[in-house]
Amino acid sequence: MINLNKCSEAKFKPEECQQAAVCSMLGSASDNKKQTLYPDRPDVHLISTFSFAHVSEHSFGSTTCDSGLYAGCMTAPCSIDENGLTTCQCPTFTGPYQVGQRSKRLNELGLGCDISPNVWSAANRITPPLQ
């Protein structure tokens, strides 16, 4: 998010705006460019990434969850079946994590940190120690 702010049109700082190295390995459906992140996996058609594509329907925010099972789907390999359904192989973790929605919005939807038997695709933001 810090890098995104540096790369926004309003605050563009080319000397500080850096694309993650992994981006060049994700491929592009619009350019018909194949992914190279999983070169030995011909079954990998897509790679799970982050996007603001549906932010108007699902507002962006953050809710901290003290502990639980969550899926780390960023850059997970995904395949498409004969019906066009996508399945991603996301590793799971147990511990503290953050859901990408504001707690107020989760409450409006009747959701919280525990959505058993499902799990959130989430992340755990680790704050580096002060130097």
| Cβ atoms of residues 26 and 39 within 8 Å | no
- Asked, for residue 113, whether it belongs to a domain, the answer is no
- If you ran DSSP here, which 8-state letter would residue 28 be given? B
- Asked, for residue 120, whether it belongs to a domain, the answer is no
- Asked, for residue 12, whether it belongs to a domain, the answer is yes
- Asked, for residue 119, whether it belongs to a domain, the answer is no
pTM of the model: 0.74
If one counts every other C-beta atom within 10 angstroms of the C-beta of residue 19, the result is: 9
| Cβ atoms of residues 93 and 72 within 8 Å | yes
Which runs of consecutive H residues, i.e. helices, occur in the chain?
2-7, 103-108
Single-letter amino acid code for the residue at 131 = Q
> For 77-113, what is each residue's pLDDT tens digit?
999 899 989 999 999 999 999 998 889 989 999 999 9
Number of domains comprising the chain:
1
Mean pLDDT of the chain: 85
- Asked, for residue 131, whether it belongs to a domain, the answer is no
Domain limits for position 24: 2-108
- Asked, for residue 118, whether it belongs to a domain, the answer is no
> For 48-73, what is each residue's pLDDT tens digit?
988 777 777 767 788 999 999 999 99
| Cβ atoms of residues 58 and 79 within 8 Å | no
- Asked, for residue 130, whether it belongs to a domain, the answer is no
Q: CB neighbours of 13 closer than 8 A, spacing ≥ 6?
A: 6, 7
- Asked, for residue 43, whether it belongs to a domain, the answer is yes
